[in-house]
Amino acid sequence: MSEPAPASELRCPSCGAPASEDAGTCTYCHANLAVVGCPSCFAHLFAGMRYCPKCGTEVSRTEEGDSGFSCPDGHGVLTKVRVGILTFGECSGCHGLWVDAEQFARLIDSQESRATMLRWHEQSDRSLVVAEQTVIKYRPCPRCTKFMNRVNFARVSKVIIDVCKSHGTWFDRDELARVVTFVQDGGLERSRELDHERAADDRRRQAEQQHMVADLKRDALSAPFMSQPRGDDSPARDPISRFLAQFLS
């Protein structure tokens, strides 16, 4: 459960004036004060505060100008956005996100970063339901402009994302939150278990095939010899045995 922060530590994110947790509205600038939980320590704080007053975790979204990259769907230049310790490009037109390979790895590896991202998603209008894409199209990488690959994240998540192996990943409006939720719910562990099962099945099938080939080869080599036509003194097998012996030897 979330813990209340000391009243002296809570301040209006709009004007900086001290405010109580149950105020609802700032008495100085009259801004609405919505209480949320810190994604790291779960202490109470106001939505819009950049840092948790209890543990110091950076929790808010800040814009840092143009990212220098364009939306692969042609909606213009992406805005450079920071959420917690993560930085990515956001499209104001389609609300897609461009996350480079290093930032995405940090997100997947950090429980705190994943919680921060989900909290930001819930507090913004990004959580609105979006119609599923019906037309499949390949998008250019915002960095190198080469077409990206469409990939089912972790093979079992059912979240199809656009990946440039060299530079990063493009997420449609709600896809990053779906990926993070999949990871939070243990999806990567399930994916690894399935990989181990598939590898074991492959080894078993390979062993069965090797045994079958060995049996065929043994049977072909032990088949009875047949008489050759007059004038040919070399021994020979029946046609099927000759073929198997030649093919398997």
Q: Is 152 found in the same domain as 76?
A: yes
Among 146, 189, 188, residue whose Cα is nearest residue 166? 146
Residue 228, domain extent: 205-248
Q: Is 98 found in the same domain as 80?
A: yes
Residue 235 forms part of a structural domain:
yes
Residue 66 forms part of a structural domain:
yes
Q: Is 147 found in the same domain as 72?
A: yes
Residue 192 forms part of a structural domain:
no
Query: pLDDT digit string (tens) for 89-123?
Result: 999 888 899 999 999 998 888 776 777 677 666 65
Q: Is 52 found in the same domain as 23?
A: yes
Number of independent structural domains in the chain: 3
Residue 200 forms part of a structural domain:
no
Q: Is 78 found in the same domain as 10?
A: no
- Whether the CB-CB separation of 118 and 184 falls below 8 Å is answered with yes
Q: Is 166 found in the same domain as 87?
A: yes
Q: Is 163 found in the same domain as 89?
A: yes
Query: Other CB atoms closer than 10 Å to residue 53's CB: what's the count?
Result: 17
Res 133: pLDDT: 58
Res 160: pLDDT: 94
Q: Is 74 found in the same domain as 50?
A: no
* Element at 152 (helix H, strand E): strand 149-152
Residue 136 forms part of a structural domain:
yes
Tokens of 106: 């940090």
Q: How far is the CA of 20 from the CAs of 42, 55, 59, 73, 169, in angstroms?
A: 17, 18, 19, 44, 41
Pairing of strands 35-37, 44-46: antiparallel
Residue 241 forms part of a structural domain:
yes
Q: Is 81 found in the same domain as 49?
A: no
Q: What is the mean pLDDT of residues 7-35?
A: 85
Q: Which of 80-84, 91-95, 244-248 has the lowest mean pLDDT?
A: 244-248
> Domain boundary residue among 16, 34, 57?
57
Residue 50 forms part of a structural domain:
yes
* Element at 116 (helix H, strand E): helix 111-123
Residue 191 forms part of a structural domain:
no
Reported as half-sphere exposure (CB side, CA atoms, 13 A), residue 127 has a value of 9
CA angle 175, 51, 60 (to 5 degrees): 30
Q: Is 92 found in the same domain as 156?
A: yes
Q: Is 209 found in the same domain as 167?
A: no
